[in-house]
Structure 1
């Protein structure tokens, strides 16, 4: 039986629980594709990116005319009593109104409008990279959950096998006790070991349910017949230097920080533009009318007026506010540059550490596999020695527990190898849809950006909301 269990445990691709995975099993790639399409954290990040896209047309709006209409109305009642009216009160009712249309066009604003547009575009690119970073984080969590469920199933099966073995041992000890071939102590020891094994099964079942719930949260559906393979082995970097170089160049957190530097550069130029002149052109068309009713006589008057006003505003002194804003923008730019270096250091450290963890996981699998083989021989030898009275039942049970522990270490090593591989892919920025070639439709943020970047109006979103 032990050799059969070992065969189930040891697999080149990952956690070996092939007996639990029929032909129509869900692969890791399929699970990650489901998470990519359905995970609410990813969808929320996409919505946030679409909101960021709107800063581009908002910035472009400053280059366009601002048009407004207005209307005013005034009603007055005046009651006059004077010698000129022979002391008779005279009431005059006056009503005035005006309707107008005003258009303002900014012709020059110290290049602030153009730099604001460039800043908005840079922030969009930074947010796209941040979205990709969120996607890769969620995919790592989903893959980790996948491996955890497979690991839990394997551990649960090992513990169930242990219960079955101990039930037979207890029955044999009781039968031998009845005929005087064993002691009450042997029976008690077997029963104690069985109780512990049953408790381990319950604990393994609880852990499996917890990880299944996490899987559903991340992937979007319950795990069904998960396979034990790790399909992304060929996409791993082959050396530490390759992993570090790829991480520094391609990781989305580094790209996001780099685009944030570009945005901060344009923010500095915007602030410097506050010191330059502003030229505006304003056109107004107004219709004014009114009426006066006095002593029973009414008079009406109407006026139509149109004017165009050009204005040049040159800032001379703003109490130090503009200078402060420029200094602030420069400090923010310095901060963004430091954050790029920080991001590079972080991903490089993560890549190197993940590569080392992967090597350690591979070594642990080799050691655990050798331990299982050795424990199998030890269990067989102790069982034979018990038959001739050289060993006790407790010796057999202890050796059997050592075998179970070694088998769990094999399963754990396979999971740790998968997790280290995933961490290495994430650290290098290659745990995304394209690099993994996942069977899912790619989300294209450019589509929404192109749909809104030049819009002059419209309240509905591109998807019709």
Structure 2
């Protein structure tokens, strides 16, 4: 709970009080039940616009597979042509209608290779969606914890203002009886002004943290609570790296891209091979004339392309080599990210333990200095310095606790385990295979599968 300063005697103090009240109204619009980090992650997953956007992009990639499958089926088209011809001798006009079918029978597997490459692209796009999901959840966890940090800072700064006000009154009383000089009172007044400035800054940070939370989670922050424990994590960096190598979406994505590039190279090497196509047609002149029927088999292939086919093949090989190199780089980057996250987590843990001891010692020192000051053995400046040291230690402890939580979720993301499924958030997750299974066979619009797709799309439009 945030402690507000009371009994203001100066305009600046009144302004700080009103500012804090306004921020509290923004940050906690209702007296709702406490919201856990799990609640924030669930809401972020359900309300994320960027997830909706990239799910649509994945469905677009699914449709490219359907396009490739449809290209291997017969294509039937019709046409109707009316022509009017005239000359000095005579005029004539006629209506011609035709129905034509065309079917690719054989191309040495080139089309099949291109379809398989598109399937690998779909799998890669799915991993991109997983990576975006991780980013959304990590940002939500960070926003939740940073809001908690800001709330604690405002509370701590408010209490600090009240404490220094007490010290100022004590200094003023001692000055009135001649125990201290005007300098002691001025020191207390200066420290109070500094404390109020720090409180105003903390209130500003709270407002920004609330805005970030709303942007990520899709709702105003309520009574957010700090988790009482950390998520389950590996014991060392080696175990975390091993998990990342098999689960990180970036690595899996690039592996699928390498597979797609390999298939593209094979397909490009078949560009010189011929194609066998079958054709059929019906045509009629003036609708009441004789119907002309035709059947055809066409074998075609390139003879000379000016070097374009060879260039395309070399380009495919270069793209494959670049993707292979990208896989190596991605592996190194993921390993480095895991190690960095593990180091940050260990630093936060060690700093927290040291800060606990610092708070205990600073608390003993502050109480002792204040007691000695009441007996005339210490100055007001000594009391204020001891109080500041205790405050700094408490601020550091709050930060290390928050940093430890954020670092733990950053480590999960680096391992590829920060997903709604892995965290068991209890939300209905998006199944990327549902839409793909409906479209992979390229169903007609007026078919049973086409009707099922319409229902799916209507449901997605509601999101």
The residue correspondences of 1:276-355 to structure 2 (distance < 5 A) are 276-289=273-286, 302-355=289-342
Paired residue for 2:265? 268
User: CA shift at 1:231, angstroms?
Assistant: 4.9
Q: Does 1:252 align with 2:239?
A: no
Greater C-alpha radius of gyration: 1
- Residue 415 of structure 1: aligned partner: 402
- For residue 265 of structure 1, report the CA deviation from its aligned partner: 1.3
**Could you say which residue in structure 2 is the equivalent of 1:60?**
69
Matched, 1:170 2:157: no
Aligned counterparts of 2:282 and 2:35: Cα–Cα separation in 1: 70
Aligned twin of 2:5: none
1:192 offset after TM fit, Å? 1.0
Alignment partner of 1:463 out of 411, 434, 457: 457
2-structure distance, mates of 1:420, 1:201: 27
C-alpha deviation, 1:172, in angstroms = 1.8
* Secondary structure in 1 matching 2:418: coil
Kindly state the Cα deviation for residue 308 of structure 1 after the two structures are TM-superposed: 0.4
What SS does the aligned partner of 1:311 have?
strand
Deviation at 1:230, TM superposition (A): 5.4
Are the structure 2 counterparts of residues 264 and 147 from structure 1 closer, same or farther at C-alpha, using a change threshold of 3 Å?
same
Counterpart in the other structure of 1:14: none
2:362 is the counterpart of 1:375: yes
TM-score normalised according to structure 2 size: 0.88
* Distance in 2 separating the partners of 1:348 and 1:266: 28
Higher strand share: 1
Confirm or deny: 8 A CA contact 2:67 2:442 kept in the other structure: no
Q: 1:177: how far off?
A: 2.1
Q: Secondary structure at the match of 2:105?
A: strand
Offset of 1:239 from its aligned partner? Answer: 1.2
**Shift, 1:78, TM fit:** 3.3
Aligned to 1:33: 42
Aligned residue for 2:297, secondary structure, equals: strand
Residues in 1 aligned to 2:212 and 2:50: alpha-carbon distance in whole angstroms: 14
Alignment root-mean-square deviation, CA: 1.8
CA contact (8 A) 1:96 1:288 kept: yes
CA displacement 1:249-269 (0-9 Å, x = unmatched): 210000000011111111112
- SS state of the match for residue 442, structure 2? coil
Question: Alpha-carbon deviations, 1:214-273, whole Å to 9, x = none?
Answer: 001001111111111155422x11111101111112100000000111111111122112
Structure 2 unaligned residues grouped into runs of 5+:
1-27
Unaligned runs of 5+ in 1: 1-19, 81-91, 291-300
- Structure 1 residue aligned with 2:377: 390
For residues 77 and 380 of structure 1, the distance between their equivalents in structure 2, rounded to whole angstroms, comes to 113
Structure 1 residue 275 displacement after superposition: 1.5
- 1:106 maps to 104
Relative to structure 2, which stretch is displaced further, 448-457 or 353-362?
448-457
Q: Is the 8 A contact 1:170 1:191 kept in 2?
A: yes
Q: TM-score, normalised by structure 1?
A: 0.88
**Secondary structure of 1:302's aligned partner:** coil
* Displacement of 1:23: 9.2
1:418-461 residue CA offsets vs partner (Å, 9 max, x unmatched)? 12111111110011112111121111111111122223333975
> Quick check: 1:28–1:230 contact (8 Å CA) kept in 2?
no
- In the alignment, what sits opposite 2:435? 448
Q: Which residue among 76, 86, 97 is the counterpart of 2:85?
A: 76
Equivalent residue, structure 2, for 1:45? 54
